[in-house]
Structure 1
Amino acid sequence: MATYNLNDIVLGVDIGGSHITAAIINLKEKKEIKSTWNRNLINAKGTSHQILQGWASTILQSMESVETKPEKIRIAMPGPMDYETGICLIQDQDKFRSLYSLNIKELLAAEIGYDPADISFHNDAACFLKGELYGGSLYGFDKAIGLTLGTGLGTSYTSSGKAEDADLWNMGFLEGIAEDYISTRWFVKRFYELTGKQVADVKELIDNHAGSTDFYQVFSEFSNNLASFIYQFIQRETPLAAVIGGNIAHADTYFMKETQQELNELLGYSFPVKKSFLGESAILLGAGAST
């Protein structure tokens, strides 16, 4: 069983709206220890006890293959949340409602046998951008924006060399807010409106309906929505590049080219929009490197 210098390792955790991923991060080598990588599905509509037990189980699994257990656990988590105290403030989204107002830092610490002071929470969108700047698609850029597309919409930007949460998921957009149009639930809702057929997520949409006229219409509309949103984001932050990650990014074949073309037309110049190079590792590395 492997041993490591305690100063060199932390446990990085990525909590999403439907999953949790955890791995021990070797800070000295700036990479995750592959043997400790674990990913499990989580029912974000479950009870607080069910969610916390699912998180705890995955975290403990990641520590089983190393003799030296990390002293610090750094968790990337979507907001809204009081990241300093560990109190979850998610209330009006389609996830984690049972955790609202709970101190999940203290509750999780009790589940895994850690001191709450050794667990820290960080915004997942900021962690994603931090990881990509650290050694991913945006390596070499010093001013950029990041978008994580999945159950929800995460947005981040660089400020004074640091990655920060842009918190634009609820920005007014079209006839609602940005997350209404740039998320898994938009795909599910829009495809049902066009066809009367239910799909669970973007993967099922691709697996069962790729090639149909309605399939291409949905992705074309999404491309236009995404380009319009990125355009507005650029006006706010004047970045030099953007990176896109999250589960929906796996479907980039169906929207990235059209999004890029539409965005360039809106801007009047070519702006680089890159797909995440690190994938899930970006958030884990970004979380691990956070303090």
Structure 2
Amino acid sequence: MIPVLEIGGTHVTAALVSPRTAAVTARVRRPLDARGSAGDVLGAVLRCARSLPSVPGARWGVAVPGPFDYAKGVALFAGVGKFESLYGTDVRAALLDGLPGSPPDVVFRNDAHAFLAGEWSAGAARGHARAVGITLGTGVGSAFLADGGLRTSGAGVPPEGRLDLARIGGRPLEEVVSRRAILSRYGAAAGAGGGVPGDRAPGGGAAGAGLDVREIAERARAGEERACRVLATAFGALGAELGPRLAAFGATVLVVGGSMAESWDLLAPPLTAALAAEDRPPGAARRPVRALLGEDAALVGAAAAAAA
């Protein structure tokens, strides 16, 4: 069994994973404050890791969002609204010093890459030669996979394979599709009395204060027009950006995961409509597929990297 960590914007998960069967056991999930101090963040991660049964001498796999130097294990978070206290921190050294079982090494993998690798080996992307995966949560993660290998360049692939570096209408993609973008747009629409969905006013406005995307989704299900419009605008814009990229890359499946995938009934229709609006070659992905493994996908992908 391979010990693994999956570090997200609001949580950290530790587990033991069999790279052969993709079985996940001894899972422990704890809340994580991505805006906390470096000591608080690393302390929370290590406390979660120490709750696992010890596996002496095993390499650990860690799925973590970028920007991050995965080869060196150094955090490079800046301007992304999370983990910025870790900038320049040698996370590998910190983990090796505190992880149980005296591990010989820690192998880091981009969380979206780990997610798609897991789904390709045992989930929704299994059997597809070319697949694209996106994770929607505090930010937007992405991975482009061809014949089991991750691609960071080529037709349809954004710079460094990172969809968050793409732009929509001249704006960074994460100003249109992300947790903070949706909250901002919902508040802007409220402040304008239900005005323009694309307003860029910061914050949440009085009517949107204290809400998270989950609550906005609940309001949309209850029929609130503003909530429906904000979510449809965000996911429709994402589909319009993804459509040409999927075609150029030759992807036959688009797998969607992350915390926002829990609102699949609200996410899938505008995303599907935008994808369907684009011309596609035969066999190309025309609709999104929800991840089958859920949070386990990144855990399985991290274990595969540690076992390699």
TM above 0.5: yes
Find the aligned partners of 1:84 and 1:128 in 2 and give their Cα distance: 18
Match of 2:121 in 1: 134
Is 1:276 the counterpart of 2:271 in the alignment? no
Picking from 220, 227, 233, the partner of 2:239 is 227
Moved more, 170-179 or 281-290: 170-179
Name the amino acid aligned to 1:27. P
CA contact (8 A) 1:194 1:214 kept: yes
Q: Gaps spanning 5+ residues in structure 1: where?
A: 1-8
CA contact (8 A) 2:276 2:287 kept: no
CA contact (8 A) 2:145 2:151 kept: yes
Find the aligned partners of 1:277 and 1:250 in 2 and give their Cα distance: 12
Residues 27-74 of structure 1: CA deviation (Å, up to 9, x unaligned): 2322111xx1011111111100000000001111122xxx65561210
Match of 1:21 in 2: 13
Name the amino acid aligned to 1:271. R
Find the aligned partners of 2:277 and 2:217 in 1 and give their Cα distance: 28
Q: What are the equivalent positions in structure 2 for 1:101-250 lying under 5 Å apart?
A: 101-113=88-100, 117-164=104-151, 166-195=161-190, 196=205, 197-207=208-218, 210-250=222-262
Cα deviation, residue 172, structure 1: 2.2
Match of 1:71 in 2: 58
Residues 6-30 of structure 1: CA deviation (Å, up to 9, x unaligned): xxx1112211111111110022322
SS in structure 1 at match of 2:186: helix
TM-score (norm 1): 0.89
Find the aligned partners of 2:184 and 2:38 in 1 and give their Cα distance: 27
Q: What are the equivalent positions in structure 2 for 1:30-109 lying under 5 Å apart?
A: 30-33=22-25, 36-63=26-53, 68-69=55-56, 71-109=58-96
Moved more, 205-214 or 152-161: 205-214
TM-score (norm 2): 0.85
Cα deviation, residue 163, structure 1: 3.0
CA contact (8 A) 2:120 2:148 kept: no
